[in-house]
Chains A and B, each alone.
Chain A
Amino acid sequence: MRFRTQLKNTRTFSKLTASLSSLGKICWMRLEPEAVRFTIIPDQGTQVWSQIPVNTIFDEDTYELECNSEAINIEINISVLTRALRSAIDASSAQLRLTKKDKMPLLALTVVTTEWTEGNMALATDQTQPQDPTQDETETNDVVGDRRARERETIITQEIPIKILHEGAVEGLHEPHCPDPDVHIFLPGLAQLKSISDRFTKLASTDSKNRQPGLIASDAAGAADEGKGPRAAGLGSNAPKLELSANMHGKLKLAIATDELRIASVWSGLVNPALHPGHITQEEYSQLPSERMREVGDDDESGWAKVRIDGKDWSRVLSVGRLSPKVVACFINEMALVLYVYLPGTPNKDEACITYYINSFTT
């Protein structure tokens, strides 16, 4: 069994793993000759299955994979990987390989960097603004000019403990199968969607717990909570449920209702993409549920497909916005929401795609 590769696009890689790690810690990483798959199946909440072509994050020329079966299956703590990948950002070279130490399998990340100056890594915050997760890349890029490259090298090794899974152990894991969607639509900018969703969730939860008195106190506490609070909270049945619905006329609606209020945001002018015409006939195509929904008038309630989702879980899903992807949301009315998240800048033929499976709660 052998796996070794040079990394490329380490920023994308680390943002990818960071997005995944918001949904769960344990990640099944499957190394195949052409693609790397990352799968997270938490006990509850959203499942995520992703397929990343090797050349999106690895340097194909150096990619070595040898194993008895068709792939190497690894179980890894994805947040640990995310943390380790920080060392690789802006490095002159970064290698990832499978190794063993004291009989314990490891994923070893070896990074060579020649840049040791202010402005490297988090030190950049001296001059620039503290890193907003959505902005840190651009800012770090800004300080590139200040760096003085030099010949001295620093070599950083991160050894991440992993489990090797046998093919048999993963045979039973299958990507969920969903019926054809009733509505499919491009989501608006995820940052905006996330802001509004988060505000709705907050509205619903402030309502239920009767907002702490004292504006300053609650503001400070709120900020701290969101930063540190365990993410386990909130998946219970009492957690606020957002209603997300869309139609085939470019409209998306986000709503929540409590005893004290009803609030809804409606986006219009969004695009309902055409599905892969692929291997179905014109007639079959017109029989797709979404095509039938398209026939329903814009203002007709029956043309909308709706799901009820957990506000906090949804917020974690939307954290994938840091990758600035294109996202197609597929609504299966009252049943599930499937998000296809396409990374930008990947070759069209085999796009890197992250798929989120979100179950709808019943009322």
Chain B
Amino acid sequence: MEPLFTGVSNNAHHLYTLLSCIGFASKATVQITPEGLRFSAEEGRVIQGLAFLDKSLFTSYAFNAAPNPNQQSEAPDNEDSDETNYPHFVVSLAALLETLKIFGINDLNEPPRENTSLPETNPASNVFSAPALLMDRSCTLQYASHGAPLSIAIDEAGVKTTCELVTYEPEDDESDIPLQRDAIIMKIIMRSAWLHNAIAELDSSTPTILKLSASAKHTPYFALSGAGGPYSESTVEFSVDQGNEATGEGQDGLSTQRHKVLADDGSSRARSTRAKLAPTVTETFLVTPPSSMGERIKQSYRFGLIRKAARAMSVANKVSIRGDRQGVLSLQFMVELDENQNQATGRSVGAGVRAAGPVCFVDFRFVPLLDEEVEEAEMEMLADE
């Protein structure tokens, strides 16, 4: 019988890179869809990470979705329930990641050595020193049928490794942390490196709480602080370019000129002095707190949870930081995968993919700390001392 799903990749690095972003949890829920594999990891219903392995990451991607007549007849015209038809199971993410690491293991460990007296016993063991032959490797993911193990086969350089991961039924009440898309009050896009750098900086003072503060009107426009650490309070502020700020406030000659021009319009002058100010590092900076919040958005999150997204921050190219009215924080990471690995194999990943390498997304969502919880967390810290 034809397996339900077979995906072949000649670059398990890509799969590893994306999945390692959500590697904070030991298990992940996998959903196979016609468009790709959706991996979701969570912890205590307060953090959720989601990595999507787009089918373009595979050289061949065969999903034979067996339509389930029962469910389809019942299903209303709703996208969500449609998705639940797709195969859905839980595997050990830790084991999957370890297995994927075996791919390319030789590249690290076997620097070409003249004094190795062994090679004649294993002609294949020398193969990887010749780049032209690197294409001789593949990684195949397969899910034969409902309840079958997820198998990963890695074939390279004379060694064939097969791993079968036991699949488990997902828990019934598993659901995503809800982000109210119609109540987004903050959207900040910046290079992920800057965010990673800031979190790493704060992390060095081992805080328990991350405080986020954003305002469209007043400084600090966007600041992240670590609180509850034993030694110091630290803050990373993404400030506005001094020149820009001056322009906004109309303090130097240049901006005055501009204001005059604008003032001809009459009404536009007032607006121009309120010209939107955005931190230098941000690409998009939209902060629109509801009137109940005043002019500033302030939210607190458990630092330990945010830290779990550090791998994603370090790997990703850009991050979109969004917050809804409830304070749910969404970090959406855009990962531009490196094509170099594939060039070595002389193949491209798939049609329609940019030469720069495929672009993938990893999402994180965090539940905010309530005010009482912030106090509790601070108390815990004191108790620890």
Contacts and interface: CB of A to CB of B under 8 A. Distances in A.
Given A189-B116, A269-B123, A261 B166 contact: yes
B214 to A, nearest CB: 26
A270 to B, nearest CB: 5
B131 interface: no
A92 interface: no
A211 B161 contact: no
Given A213-B43, A215-B311, A264-B162, A207 B122 contact: no
Given A268-B158, A344-B115, A214 B95 contact: no
A325 B119 CA distance: 11
Contact of B106 (A192, A213, A262): A192
A211 B118 contact: no
B73 interface: no
6 contacts: A189-B119, A189-B122, A210-B26, A213-B25, A264-B161, A267-B159
Contacts of A262: 149, 163-164
Interface string A294-326: 000000000000000000000000000000111
A203 B117 contact: no
A216 B159 contact: no
B101 interface: yes
Contacts of B368: none
Interface stretch (B289-297, B302-310, B326-334): B302-310
A74 B220 CA distance: 72
Contact of B95 (A134, A260, A266, A324): A260
A345 B123 CA distance: 21
Contacts of A268: 124, 158, 160
Interface of B: 20, 23-26, 43, 92, 94-95, 98-99, 101-102, 105-106, 108-111, 113, 115-125, 149, 157-166, 304, 307-308, 310-311
Contact of B122 (A202, A266, A269, A345): A269
Interface in A260-281: 260-271
Interface string A338-354: 00000011000000000
B308 A324 contact: no
B181 to A, nearest CB: 28
Interface residues of A, number: 42
Contact of A265 (B95, B111, B161): B161
A191 B102 CA distance: 13
Contacts of B109: 134, 189, 191-192, 194-195
Contacts of B118: 186-189, 324, 326-327
Contacts of A102: none
Contacts of A194: 109
A62 interface: no
B94 A195 contact: no
A44 interface: no
Nearest to B99: A263
A131 interface: no
A327 B118 CA distance: 8
A250 B174 CA distance: 48
Given A189-B110, A192-B125, A196-B102, A260 B116 contact: no
A191 B119 CA distance: 13
A322 to B, nearest CB: 11
A43 interface: no
B160 A265 contact: yes
Given A135-B111, A213-B308, A267 B122 contact: yes
Interface in A203-247: 203, 206-207, 210-211, 213-217
A271 B125 CA distance: 12
A191 B101 contact: no
Contacts of A344: 115-117
A199 interface: yes
Rank and list the top 5 A-B pairs by shortest CB-CB distance, nearest first.
A186-B121, A263-B163, A191-B109, A215-B23, A265-B161
A199 B125 contact: no
A260 B121 contact: no
A146 interface: no
B286 to A, nearest CB: 30
A67 B304 CA distance: 66
A134 B116 CA distance: 12
B311 A345 contact: no
B18 to A, nearest CB: 13
Contacts of A260: 92, 95, 165-166
Given A191-B110, A266-B159, A214 B94 contact: no
Contacts of A195: 102, 105-106, 108-109
A189 B163 CA distance: 22
A206 B95 contact: yes
Contacts of A214: 24, 304, 307-308
A259 interface: yes
A270 B123 CA distance: 8
Contacts of A196: 102, 105, 159, 161
A121 B111 CA distance: 22
B158 A269 contact: yes
Contacts of B120: 271
A273 to B, nearest CB: 8
A207 B95 contact: yes
Contacts of B24: 213-215
B111 to A, nearest CB: 7
Nearest to B23: A215
A268 B121 CA distance: 10
A210 B159 CA distance: 28
Contacts of B101: 199
B149 to A, nearest CB: 8
B122 A265 contact: no
A188 B101 CA distance: 19
